[in-house]
A and B are shown apart, each in its own frame.
Chain A
Amino acid sequence: MTTEVAKPVIDVRALDKRFEQIHAVRGVSFSVHQGEVLGFLGPNGAGKSTTMKMIAGFLEPTGGTILVCGNQVLEEPIKVKKAIGYLPEGAPLYGEMTVYRFLDFIADIRGLNGAYKKKRIDEIIKIINIGSVVNQTIETLSKGYKRRVGLAQAILHDPQVLILDEPTDGLDPNQKFEVRNLIREMAADKAIIISTHILEEVDAVCTRAIIIASGQILFDGTPDELHGRSASRNIEEAFRLITTQHYRGKGESVQS
């Protein structure tokens, strides 16, 4: 990354994904710069997770390009995956491992070693606040703890890019507050994408919001602009207006 003209850290162009019957993502383009926290909003099945899976290199796009830190996901998958910390939908984890062993495994794969590895794991355990469960097997943890272990795994190697699919799902209000603070604290030197159903989260952490429905971008702008879409500046109403217009077939694809 050069500093003169800031190139986007994530650059998605004309991204397309078809599953046999379903056209899940249709020509999605956007970019994310360092310091940005992009909120992915949209109804269930809109294509949010599919887009995130493609950026993370788990699914191959049917068309379009994805550049992460200047590397094509399909051509340099290992370089891209090294730069990304990814929390998959539902935070899947190896249930039979203890939290510590699991993080140790991720650290090994992420190339951390020796004293630094131990220091970093301990640091993350403190940051994510999972100290009380490090020696428990993951399958015995509550949903909130599992989500936090998933988050710990994603940020362990201090990646340039964070892709978090519903990072606060299943957390209690206090935990949500903590995770949002954490994301804000990390934001300055990273490019972050989070998906969420909680619209207040957009105000709390995002610098930009994208609304996706049926695989298309319907809105791309700042949270403030999103508020402005509703007469009463209510974000929920703005969201409803944008997405329902689209489903009535009247909505044109709006990009700001």
Chain B
Amino acid sequence: MNILAIFKREFRGYFVTPVAYVFIAIFLFLNGLFTFYLGAFYESNQADLEPFFRFHPWLYLFLIPAIAMRLWSEERKTGTIELLMTLPITTAEAVVGKYLAAWCFTGVALVLTFPIWLTVNYLGNPDNTVILASYIGSMIMAGGFLAIGSCISALTKNQVIAFVISVVICFLFILSGFPMVLDLFRNWAPQAITDAIASFSFLTHFSSIKKGVIDIRDIIYFAALISFWLYANVVVIDARKAS
């Protein structure tokens, strides 16, 4: 139950500082902005939330590293990592507990976008199962970004560095599915390589999800990605003990 104790401590931590409120406010504001202006939600005249979900990868690109950067950097900076890691818990328990708390916090922010769901239901008759699937997919994708950010945060006690590096890595994971990037490879590389690069992209895996199709392959992709980065997170923390 160590994971639960750490989860509770971390999750509560968001709400006793202004972090939670600032994050949620900005998340909701940007979501609205993107959906209505860039996504042309009204003008599209369609009762679905595609314009809303379309921008989530871009929103997460900056907002998730902002959440993740403090996960381990702050513990290092304030020295509390010494307190935490001399308690009778495994490194994995600490990593997972912290990660789940941050993920649930992201979930809270995502759930608070419900007015847009109410709006689209008021204006038309959307397919709500598609919307639910998209929400789940968005949540899973956020988990992917978060796992990267958490691992990077363990590398440094400087939160700014953690943020910048996380954004860059997350950006690469988005970019690798972009037609522009894939075209660069398509001209000379074998199809298999282009496909492999595309298959690493968040966009590739999110594109079907945002249409409401939850494909088991996309789930496996994100599950593997999250597992890999959290495992790396544990390795990074354990390596510091021996340094």
Q: Are A58 and B87 in contact, with the CB atoms below 8 A? A: no
Q: How far is the CB of B109 from chain A (nearest CB, A)?
A: 19
Q: Are A81 and B83 in contact, with the CB atoms below 8 A? A: no
User: Which residues of B228-243 have CB atoms within 8 Å of chain A's CB atoms?
Assistant: 241-243
Asked whether B5 is an interface residue with its Cβ less than 8 Å from the other chain, the reply is: yes
Asked whether A116 is an interface residue with its Cβ less than 8 Å from the other chain, the reply is: no
Q: How many angstroms from the CA of A153 to the CA of B84 in the assembled complex?
A: 11
> What bracket does the count of chain B residues touching chain A fall in?
20 to 34
Q: Are B86 and A90 in contact, with the CB atoms below 8 A? A: no
Given A88-B82, A108-B5: A78 in contact with B90 (beta carbons within 8 A): yes
Binds A, one of B9-17, B43-51, B59-67, B164-172: B9-17
Name the B residues within 8 Å of A92 (CB-CB): 78-80, 82-83
Q: How many angstroms from the CA of A105 to the CA of B79 in the assembled complex?
A: 17
Q: Are B87 and A90 in contact, with the CB atoms below 8 A? A: no
Asked whether A84 is an interface residue with its Cβ less than 8 Å from the other chain, the reply is: yes
Q: Are B87 and A110 in contact, with the CB atoms below 8 A? A: yes
Asked whether A144 is an interface residue with its Cβ less than 8 Å from the other chain, the reply is: no
Q: How many angstroms from the CA of A203 to the CA of B227 in the assembled complex?
A: 53
Q: Are B87 and A60 in contact, with the CB atoms below 8 A? A: no
Counting chain A CB atoms within 10 Å of each CB, which of B13, B80, B83, B242 scores highest? B83
Select which of B1, B12, B17, B79 is within 8 A of A90 by beta carbon.
B79
Name the B residues within 8 Å of A109 (CB-CB): 2, 5-6, 87-89
Q: How far is the CB of A42 from chain B (nearest CB, A)?
A: 20
Q: Are A97 and B86 in contact, with the CB atoms below 8 A? A: no
Name the A residues within 8 Å of B16 (CB-CB): 96-97, 137
Q: How far is the CB of A155 from chain B (nearest CB, A)?
A: 14
Asked whether B85 is an interface residue with its Cβ less than 8 Å from the other chain, the reply is: yes
Q: Are A96 and B17 in contact, with the CB atoms below 8 A? A: yes
Q: How many angstroms from the CA of A127 to the CA of B12 in the assembled complex?
A: 28
- Proximity bits, B1-38, A CB within 8 Å = 1, else 0: 11011101100110011000000000000000000000
Q: Are A57 and B17 in contact, with the CB atoms below 8 A? A: no
Binding site secondary structure of chain A:
loop
Name the B residues within 8 Å of A28 (CB-CB): none
Q: Are B13 and A93 in contact, with the CB atoms below 8 A? A: no
Asked whether A94 is an interface residue with its Cβ less than 8 Å from the other chain, the reply is: yes
Q: Are A153 and B88 in contact, with the CB atoms below 8 A? A: no
Asked whether A126 is an interface residue with its Cβ less than 8 Å from the other chain, the reply is: no
Q: How many angstroms from the CA of A170 to the CA of B40 in the assembled complex?
A: 61
Name the A residues within 8 Å of B78 (CB-CB): 92, 95
Select which of B5, B80, B241 is within 8 A of A60 by beta carbon.
B241
Select which of A19, A86, A105, A108 is within 8 A of B86 by beta carbon.
A86
Name the A residues within 8 Å of B80 (CB-CB): 92-94
Q: How many angstroms from the CA of A215 to the CA of B88 in the assembled complex?
A: 28
Given A96-B17, A105-B5: A84 in contact with B86 (beta carbons within 8 A): yes
Q: How many angstroms from the CA of A20 to the CA of B88 in the assembled complex?
A: 28
Given A60-B241, A97-B16, A108-B5: A88 in contact with B88 (beta carbons within 8 A): no
Q: Are B83 and A88 in contact, with the CB atoms below 8 A? A: yes
- Proximity bits, A17-59, B CB within 8 Å = 1, else 0: 0011000000000000000000000000000000001001111
Q: Are B242 and A60 in contact, with the CB atoms below 8 A? A: yes
Given A81-B86, A96-B13: A108 in contact with B1 (beta carbons within 8 A): yes
Q: How many angstroms from the CA of A53 to the CA of B86 in the assembled complex?
A: 9
Q: How many angstroms from the CA of A153 to the CA of B87 in the assembled complex?
A: 10
Name the B residues within 8 Å of A111 (CB-CB): 88
**Told that A58-B85, A93-B80 touch, could you supply 11 new A-B pairs with CB distance under 8 A?**
A57-B85, A58-B241, A78-B88, A78-B90, A90-B79, A93-B83, A96-B16, A108-B4, A109-B5, A109-B6, A137-B16
Give the 10 A-B residue pairs with the shortest CB-CB distance, closest first: A92-B79, A108-B5, A81-B88, A60-B242, A88-B82, A82-B88, A56-B86, A92-B80, A60-B241, A86-B86
